[in-house]
Amino acid sequence: MADDEKTVPDDSIDLRGVLCPINFVKTKLKLEMMDAGQILEVILDDGEPIRSVPRSLKEEGHKIIKVENKEGAYRLLVKKT
């Protein structure tokens, strides 16, 4: 089993139904409350959210560990840097 498959997030935020850029802002605020090295699970809708949020997080310097499709939504694991 790969490391990312057994990665347990330190916190989680479900942003289904939340529009851009609010979903990125909420993700960023959640990450600001976490310690460096911790992992946040973000649940996002298909389309604009899954295209924009991971890109914006990378631009902020965070590491995208995993993106997986889960029943019409996406599960994103982000490591705070």
For the question of residue 20 being annotated catalytic, the response is yes
- Give the whole-angstrom CA distance, residue 56 versus residue 41: 15
Q: Residue 59: which domain range?
A: 3-79
- Give the whole-angstrom CA distance, residue 40 versus residue 63: 10
pLDDT (tens digit per residue) in 18-76: 999 999 999 999 999 999 999 999 999 999 999 999 999 999 999 999 999 988 899 99
Which of 9, 20, 64, 66 is flagged as catalytic?
A: 20
- Give the whole-angstrom CA distance, residue 72 versus residue 3: 24
Q: How many domains does the chain have?
A: 1
pTM beyond 0.85, yes or no = yes
- At 56 the three-state DSSP class reads helix
Q: What is the CATH number of the domain that holds 45?
A: 3.30.110.40
